[in-house]
A and B are shown apart, each in its own frame.
Chain A
């Protein structure tokens, strides 16, 4: 077995499997070498058995058994290639979606600059200020999109860096709710907060937690196509702080619940032409919460709405 490993290392098979981010049992190069070895061994064994036993029936059974093993390995190789092809397709679609999402703020900035640079009639001071405010808002939007891309990449490469500290989740919730107010009003959604008077701080990465909250509230607004109410609630449960974001939106079909935190997942209740979701928000959120020592989950009724929740450890000096 050690010699076999040595050959694998020399052929750089393990390196290639690592590069593709798959286990050796899903790695086509490894499976291909394994299948080759099994074919060689099976030919030798069959030959030896055929010499030893004259009984055709036994030889036929051995050949049948080995063919079955080769068939299973062949099937694993085909599945592995399929998985890699699907992954390449999903990544290409993801690049398309993210490019489209980046284009929206970019075109808005371009148009505001058109106005500021005086290609139209000169704006007055107040309107200049509005245009600059708009550019700033769109710029923040682009930063969030690019941060998502980087975060996604770090999760894939397992290189996420955490800088945990004590901070107030209540203040963060209020900040995110204020940020989402405009988009919520546009979709005819009211945001309500249910936060206790006093709550211990949490111990986590503040910037990353802000990203998680933003994604959950953004989803609640984005998928509530018929308006309604989005509620953000906080509560202390033992040594954890639980945050729940509920909406009265499309809900998640039972058949899709299993895939909700997987990368590139987008709810089929909402087509790509009705919202600009990227399909990585919940994947990133789960990775961040799990790394922070918390849990994340959801409950949903199709057509009636969903509640996404996560927990984070409370700051130890405040328990």
Chain B
């Protein structure tokens, strides 16, 4: 079973994604802030990490930087799922090594699942 780590401070989104992923036979690991997200990544070694940028304790940039500088985690693809879309944010995330940058409001649940499946192939 594939494992996806979701780092997102909106608790309600975890419940929704958990439900959706369950139908596709994917296990969801939840973390509600950046520091817990990094800890969960090291403990579970997921197949994919989805993270927001606006996060308590460690923001999305700090999380991605830490993942990419950790040899054990560096190869895990990271999707940025956020509502921030300033070009400097997008550019910084992609230069730090994010696989995909998705704006929450512009994608349906199905669009997001399609992207996830493409990456997990």
Contacts and interface: CB of A to CB of B under 8 A. Distances in A.
Interface stretch (A115-123, A192-200, A286-294, A307-315): A115-123
Interface residues of A, number: 30
B9 A100 contact: no
Interface in B17-40: 19-20, 23, 32-33
Given A103-B83, A274-B57, 11 more contacts: A96-B86, A107-B104, A111-B109, A119-B110, A134-B12, A182-B11, A186-B11, A186-B32, A273-B55, A273-B61, A274-B56
A100 B83 contact: yes
Contacts of A276: 54
B4 to A, nearest CB: 16
A130 B15 CA distance: 10
A70 interface: no
Contacts of B110: 114, 119-120
Interface class of chain A by DSSP: helix
Q: Chain B contact residues (Cβ within 8 angstroms of A): what range?
A: 20 to 34
A218 to B, nearest CB: 14
B5 interface: no
> Which has the most chain A C-beta neighbours within 10 Å: B20, B53, B56?
B56
A133 to B, nearest CB: 10
Interface in A177-199: 182, 186-187
A104 interface: yes
11 contacts: A108-B12, A119-B108, A120-B23, A120-B109, A121-B23, A127-B19, A130-B15, A134-B16, A137-B12, A271-B59, A273-B55
A225 interface: yes
Contact of B56 (A137, A182, A225): A225
A210 interface: no
Contacts of A103: 83, 104-105
B17 to A, nearest CB: 9
Nearest to A138: B12
A115 B6 CA distance: 19
Given A108-B12, A112-B16, A275-B54, A119 B32 contact: no
Interface string B56-89: 1101110000000000000000000001101000
B13 interface: yes
A114 B109 contact: yes
B10 interface: yes
A106 interface: yes
Contacts of A134: 12, 16
